[in-house]
């Protein structure tokens, strides 16, 4: 299979997202947030089938440590790839698309949280140039969406990884910090 088409989702994509990835409440929430400028949802598509997604959180972080130490820094959340397409580079393509889009709108860095026990994701992020911040793990809340439409909040301790963004290959974008 070729590389998927990655584009920003719209409300009309909701049925296809739910067919492939489930989580109707999650995607409904993210599409609504996207409309208010909170962030944007990027989806990898192959022949009309959603095979992965990532949400780029542009609003202030929910975690006080991130608001204080990374003010204005976009956060990548909920990166996922369907099980039958994992380890084929789709996650890297979604990260690259999000990073390029953020650099184009003048963000100079991006951050994300990854569970302490999620070693596969940590390897992916490190390969993509993310480095752990020096302030240690942060207590976050993982929202688990169930097939019946309900969701539950679970505490999760995460490593915070950061990556500088560049507008092009000639050097870093001017810092806004």
Residue 171, pLDDT above cutoff 70: no
Residues contacting 114, CB < 8 A, separation 6+: 121, 122, 125, 158, 159, 161
Per residue in 23-58, pLDDT (tens digit) is: 898 999 999 999 999 999 999 999 999 999 999 999
The predicted model scores a pTM of 0.88
Confidence of residue 145 (pLDDT cuts 50, 70, 90): confident
Report helix, strand and coil shares of the chain as percent, to nearest 5: 30, 35, 35
Write b or e for each residue in 76-104: b if 16 or more Cβ atoms lie within 10 A of its Cβ, otherwise e: bbbbbbbeebeeeebbebbbebbbebbbe
160 pairs with which residues across the strands? 113
Backbone dihedral region of 72: left (phi > 0), alpha (psi from -120 to 50 degrees) or beta? left
Q: Which of 147, 176, 173, 158 is nearest to 70 (CA)?
A: 176
Instruction: Identify the CATH homologous superfamily for domain 5-164.
Output: Gcn5-related N-acetyltransferase (GNAT) (3.40.630.30)
Euclidean distance between CA atoms 21 and 174, whole angstroms:
38
Check residue 168 and give its pLDDT: 57
List pLDDT tens digits, range 83-115: 889 889 999 999 999 999 999 999 999 999 999
């Amino acid at each position: 299979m070729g590389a998927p088409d990655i584009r920003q989702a719209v409300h009309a994509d909701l049925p296809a997202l739910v067919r492939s990835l489930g989580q109707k409440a999650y995607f409904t929430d993210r599409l609504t947030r996207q409309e208010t400028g909170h962030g944007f949802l990027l989806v990898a598509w192959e022949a009309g089938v959603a095979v992965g997604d990532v949400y780029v959180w542009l609003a202030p972080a929910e975690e006080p440590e991130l608001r204080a130490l990374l003010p204005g820094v976009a956060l990548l959340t909920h990166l996922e790839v369907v099980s039958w397409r994992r380890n084929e580079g789709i996650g890297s393509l979604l990260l690259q698309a999000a990073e390029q889009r953020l650099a184009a709108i003048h963000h100079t860095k991006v951050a994300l949280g990854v569970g302490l026990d999620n070693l596969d994701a940590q390897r992916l992020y490190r390969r993509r140039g993310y480095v752990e911040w020096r302030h240690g793990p942060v207590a976050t809340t993982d929202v688990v969406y169930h097939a019946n439409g309900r969701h539950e909040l679970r505490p999760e301790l995460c490593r915070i990884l950061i990556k500088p963004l560049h507008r092009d290959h000639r050097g870093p974008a001017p810092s806004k910090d």
